[in-house]
Amino acid sequence: MAFCGLNLLNLSAVSAAPAAPNATDEARYAAMPTYSNKNNDLEMTVDNNGTHFRLWSPEAENAQVLIYTSDRNSAPVDTIDMVRSSGGTLTADSPKQLYGHFYTFRIKHNGKWLAETPGVWAKATGTNGERAAIIDFRLTDPIGWNDDKGPKLENYTDAVVYEMHHRDMSMHPSSGIVHKGKFLALTEHGTTTESGTSTGIDHLKELGITHVHILPSFDYNSVDESNLPANKYNWGYDPVNYNTPEGSYSTDPANPMARVAEMKRMIKALHDAGIGVIMDVVYNHTATNDDSNFSLTAPGYYYRHRADRSYSDASACGNETASEREQMRDFIVNSVKYWANEYHIDGFRFDLMAIHDIETMNIVAEELHKINPNIIIYGEGWTAGDSPLPVGQRALKENVAKMDGIAVFSDDIRDAVKGHFSDAADRGFATGKPGLEETIKIGIVASTAHPQVDYSKGNNSKFAYASSPEQIINYVSCHDDLCLTDKLAASMPNSTEAERIRAAKLAQTIVFTSQGTPFITAGEEVFRSKQGVHNSYCSPDSINAIDWTLKSKNAELFDYYRNLIALRKSHPAFRMTSAEDIAKNIRFDNTNIQNVVSYSILNNANGDSSKEIKVIFNGGDKPYTTRLKKGNWKILAEDGNIDPEGLRDFNGGSISIPPCSALILTR
């Protein structure tokens, strides 16, 4: 499956001993000299003395640089032989500054010239990323770029993450956006539907999220950039050039300046709106195997293999990369550093992070936080298949305590709230399935150790794997699997839409009041449907594009989301930063009622103005009645309504929580 991006399997469970790799090849790779790209001088640099090429290819018998004046379909205007240099590299120089030109490399390996490649460090390319481009990056900077900064993030738990695909956000005619499907879509202010509700960047501001998480935006394979009128859609989990923006999101893929400049303009516009930008990165596999840029520069080296030398496949996409090897580790670390420095990226979401080793991820976090301590790093703490990398070295969810400054998605809370991700009909706590109360509690305490939480009753993980709430991303849905609207439709077959919207409110209220960092996927706030398509990675815009007329149709739900985010922002008690604080300040009530979880956050936790916040979730189909102590309570959420300023006062005593709803009070 070359163009997969499905990430459907959730194999965080520890499997049997992985297949041993080929010992001869491992010894050969380990003996290869390496060259760190910490100074950004690999492959191509321009200075006053001309243009310099340095390719890491330790086994190449010969290598050449081919220079072109156009991005494809033309003969080279020059071919320069490369000479062997230090650290496994080969070099070549041109006395001219070759701005405006394109280049490729080709190497001779085992007596054979391999196909041309733009290399692995191309930072600008022409159409379909075939040839690397030589451009002056300072000419791609928007006005004010030197002073551009993302939002300040004191703690990971202060972030509210909104995952989006460029086409989903803007392609629908109702978006009112001019640059549909482009980076520039989010630079347009004042866009509205016909009825006047805001869309695009204004919508994001109105909602109150702190960060957008953009689905893969580096150059990927599956959309033909030479035929954009075909309007092909793909999530983009099929990497080609890791250090170049995707051309189909630019207004002109043939112009290498356009994709760089336009992505920067998008980031600048979001930063100016106070919103950070998190990039989805997919270093775990490449779109192709023998034809990838990795394979054409250093055959074999960048990938893991089985003993029979076939590609191992923990990505379920045909191959997996080898982060434990020095040059690959250096590639990942310096690639994310490059995006942080050149594009001012505020965070990184690692696809199938457990394919990478723990040590690499720790270096990633350490190096990124040297550049900007506000950068947020999280990933999928699982693989999609078995790997030769030993389980103990994998950046798994269960190993996250060994990774300071890195968070993982909580599939525990995800599956407990709405039902199992792969079984459409399965219900969760918020839709009336009993027996998930303990996993909801695990979600509330962000998978940290708590004296009142029994991890043996958890649905997925059986121990407190997080050492801090800053290591947990809470969500009920993302681009993978059924979106929340469709999951509720599939699991509540005889329900009305009003009942499903009610369940959606309860589900997200659990996410947004839990410790950890909340995450939603675009369109949930307007009750967007993908017509029941659970893996829409290559579905057309008719499935994926968000119909923004839903925003006025479901205005009450949108307001609920907006107020839910405001509630979280106004109460630091929901955003604690240590496991100790959570254990000390959260006290669960022993209700022993199916589909009811009730707890208090005490002691003005994390500097909160409230002495106590009481949160009661009733996922059942009957009202739950309880007694609260006498006092000056203010009710913030009740029976599907929410207002961070307070809905009404309450003096204590008996109170009833209607079916499928949350009650939140403070005093």
Binding site for Ca ion (CB under 5 A): 219, 247
Closer by beta carbon to Ca ion, 247 or else 644: 247
Four-residue CA torsion sign, 69, 75, 78, 79: positive
Distance in angstroms between the alpha carbons of the first and the last residue of the chain: 55
| Cβ burial 61-72 (10 Å sphere, 16+ → b, else e) | ebbbbbbbeebe
Q: Which two tokens stand for residue 16?
A: 């049997």
State in angstroms the smallest separation of the CB of 287 from Ca ion.
Answer: 9
Query: Closer to Ca ion at the Cβ: 247 or 381?
Result: 247
Q: For Ca ion, which is the closer residue by CB, 123 or 551?
A: 123
CB 294 within 8 A of CB 323: no
Q: Select 58 or 247, whichever has its Cβ closest to Ca ion.
A: 247
**Sequence-separated (6 or more) residues with CB below 8 Å from residue 146:** none
- Shortest distance in whole angstroms from residue 266 CB to Ca ion: 17
Minimum distance, C-beta of residue 8 to Ca ion, in the bound complex (Å): 23
Q: Which is nearer to Ca ion, 219 or 330 (CB)?
A: 219
Q: Which residue has the tokens 């949350």?
A: 662
625: exposed, middle or buried (C-beta count within 10 Å: 0-12, 13-18, 19+)?
exposed
Give the burial class of 658: count Cβ atoms within 10 A of its Cβ; 0-12 exposed, 13-18 middle, 19 or more buried.
middle
Cα distance between residue 425 and residue 493, in whole Å: 8
CB 65 within 8 A of CB 103: yes
Q: Which is nearer to Ca ion, 317 or 353 (CB)?
A: 317
Least distance in Å: CB of 530 to Ca ion? 23
Output the smallest distance, CB 237 to Ca ion, in A: 12
Contacts of 562 (CB under 8 A, 6+ apart): 206, 207, 208, 525
By beta-carbon proximity to Ca ion, the closer residue of 37 and 222 is: 222
CB of 4 to Ca ion, least distance (A): 16
User: For Ca ion, which is the closer residue by CB, 219 or 525?
Assistant: 219
Tell me how far, at minimum, the Cβ of 249 lies from Ca ion, in Å: 9
With contact defined as beta carbons under 8 Å apart, do 579 and 448 qualify?
yes
Query: CA-to-CA distance for 623 and 26, rounded, in angstroms?
Result: 62
525 is catalytic: no
Catalytic-labelled residue, pool 219, 330, 346, 351: 351
22-44 burial code (b ≥16 CB/10 A, e <16): beeebeebeebebbbbeeeebbb
Alpha-carbon separation of residue 454 from 9, 111, 339, 582, 590 (angstroms): 26, 62, 41, 15, 13
Which residues make beta-bridge pairs with 349? 280, 378
Count of C-beta atoms within a 10 Å radius of residue 123:
23
Q: Which residue, among 443, 281, 467, has the nearest Cα to 375 in the 3D structure?
A: 281
Q: How many Cβ atoms sit within 10 Å of the Cβ of residue 568? A: 23
272 catalytically annotated: no
Of the candidates 449, 463, 360, 351, the one whose C-alpha atom is nearest the C-alpha of residue 403 is 360
Residue closer to Ca ion by CB (options 215, 510) is 215
Question: For Ca ion, which is the closer residue by CB, 168 or 324?
Answer: 168
Min CB(657)–Ca ion separation in Å: 51
Minimum Å distance from CB 289 to Ca ion? 18
Q: Which pairs with CB-CB distance under 8 Å and at least 24 residues apart come from 454-462?
A: 458/412, 459/412, 459/415, 459/416, 460/12, 460/411, 460/412, 460/415, 461/12, 461/397, 461/398, 461/412
Question: Which of 247/443 has CB closer to Ca ion?
Answer: 247
Least distance from Ca ion to the Cβ atom of residue 56, Å: 23
DSSP per-residue letters across 255-300: SHHHHHHHHHHHHHHHHHTT-EEEEEE-TT--S-STTSHHHHHSTT
User: Whose CB is nearest to Ca ion?
Assistant: 219
Question: CB count, 10 Å around CB of 73?
Answer: 9
Which DSSP string corresponds to 209-259? Answer: -SEEEES--EEESSS-TT-GGG-------SEEEEEEE-GGGSS-TTSHHHH
Rank residues 291 and 649 by Cβ distance to Ca ion and give the closer one: 291
Residue 224 CB, nearest approach to Ca ion (Å): 8
Our measurement of the distance from residue 586's CA atom to the centroid of its chain's CA atoms, rounded to an integer in Å, reads: 29
Specify the residue, 280 or 324, whose C-beta has the smaller distance to Ca ion. Answer: 280
CB of 103 to Ca ion, least distance (A): 18
- Of 320, 380, 486, 581, catalytic: 380
Beta bridge partners of 132: 103, 125
State both tokens at 577. Answer: 């930063």
Measured CA to CA, the distance from residue 355 to residue 263 in angstroms comes to 28
Residues with catalytic roles: 351, 380
